[in-house]
Amino acid sequence: MNIYIETLGCPKNFYDSEIAGGILKNAGHNIVSDWEDSDIIIVNTCGFINDAKRESIAKIFEFADRGDRLLIVSGCLSKRYADELITDMPEVDIFIGVNEYEKLPEIIDNHKIGCREKFVEEYKTDPNPDYRDCRNLGYSATLKISEGCDNRCAYCVIPDIRGPYRSRTMESIVKEAEKLAEAGVKELILIGQDVTAYGKDIYGSFNLHELLKRLCRVEKIRWIRLMYCYEDRITDELIEVMAKEDKICHYIDMPLQHSTDHVLSMMRRRSNESSIRSTISRLRSAIPDIAIRTTLITGFPGETEEDFDNLYDFVEEIKFQRLGVFTYSMEEGTPAAEMDNQIEEDIKEERKDSIMRLQMEISRAFNESLVGKTLEVLIEEKDEDGVYLGRTQYDAPEIDNCVIVKTVSEHKPGDFITVEVTDAYDYDIVGREI
């Protein structure tokens, strides 16, 4: 059968879809790039916050008028709301969660036309990464090193959806990295709900630094990028390896959510303002050019004007090179949803917009400081004759800045070139190839 997979949400969902595609190919099915060529449509959904849920539901209904195509909904939304969805969405034939991808061929083969089914289990086994088809991933690929989460932040449903934290073995991860490298991947992006917790469950201690040492020995890999790092688990050993190993990008994604002890405590985060400042200082001392990305939440229940003013001042002082802001999303089943002092949507948005305006100024100042410097740039696409788009080691794909490169040479996606920065904008820089 021809199967089309539509993926929504975070890179972890895209990783799951790649494994699902490999499982289905191994069973004799064909993965197509256009849903109109398909016999079966799979929508891999996100159910993390309200905006993501709305996007997922809209996409499901978009595919609902599908003629005689089988419609399967998988992923976080399906795992979280399977009982409600099978009642409210008669257009969907099959619902599966986040742990049923290896059963997909059997589910499809045994499905009877007109029968509606759901297959949503708890966290017994994770999809086998060996099924992942690495042949067409290109020059940059994610590498999921763990599944689930034990942190239980007050606003987050991920532990209920994805289950407890489960590290993969180093041998399994390195094996996949080698497979990716042989397929032409040059950049590994390490992902998980909390990559800095890696190894605690199976090795008895935080072992991300040891995993990185092994990954740095994989030939043909040029960049290794860290996403989803919890501040309180960024150890001195991890910083030392990041500073020492040339393949590790001078970049870290460290979602802090807030800066004041009052709000962090209500969020059930282990960090406090002092520890955050200390970690940032340690990172910048050991790696002076490191780009720190963070995300923040505005309008968490009980966030006072003073809390927000302190957060604003903190962002202005620290000057994160990369920063995003979400407004608090009330999620049923979380402790935060039951808290008093819920904040009105317009106030959440005002606070978000205020910080994003500040960050735009910070980002432009940082970009202007790069003018005249020489940077290594990974080419991603051709924009027009003599102009390419790329990014530096300080930028993750899709979410961070872009480099507009002027050159007389011909390049293809995945090429690394040397660029002198000649101009700067709020979120992008311009340069010429040397």
What pairs with residue 420 in β-bridges? 374, 432
Residue 150 contacts residue 159 (beta carbons within 8 Å)? yes
Residue 428 contacts residue 395 (beta carbons within 8 Å)? no
What pairs with residue 296 in β-bridges? 257, 325
SS (H, E, C) 278-296: HHHHHHHHHCCCCEEEEEE
First to last CA, the chain: 49
Residue 424 contacts residue 432 (beta carbons within 8 Å)? no
Please report, in range form, the residues annotated as the binding site: 10, 46, 76, 149, 153, 156
Element (H, E) at 266: helix 261-266
Nearest 5°: the CA angle 232, 235, 239 is: 125
Residue 419 contacts residue 403 (beta carbons within 8 Å)? yes
What pairs with residue 375 in β-bridges? 419
Neighbours of 407 (CB within 10 A): 16
Tokens standing for residue 30: 């064909």
Residue 302 contacts residue 339 (beta carbons within 8 Å)? yes
Please report, in range form, the residues annotated as the binding site for [4Fe-4S] cluster: 10, 46, 76, 149, 153, 156
Name the E strands within 66-215.
70-75, 94-96, 117-119, 140-144, 146-147, 166-167, 187-191
Query: φ, ψ for residue 382 (rounded to 5)?
Result: -90, 130
Residue 147 contacts residue 169 (beta carbons within 8 Å)? no
- The three-class DSSP label of residue 430 is strand
* Calpha distance 392→419 (Å, rounded): 10
Residue 57: DSSP 8-state: H
Nearest 5°: the CA angle 13, 29, 91 is: 60
* Calpha distance 424→228 (Å, rounded): 28
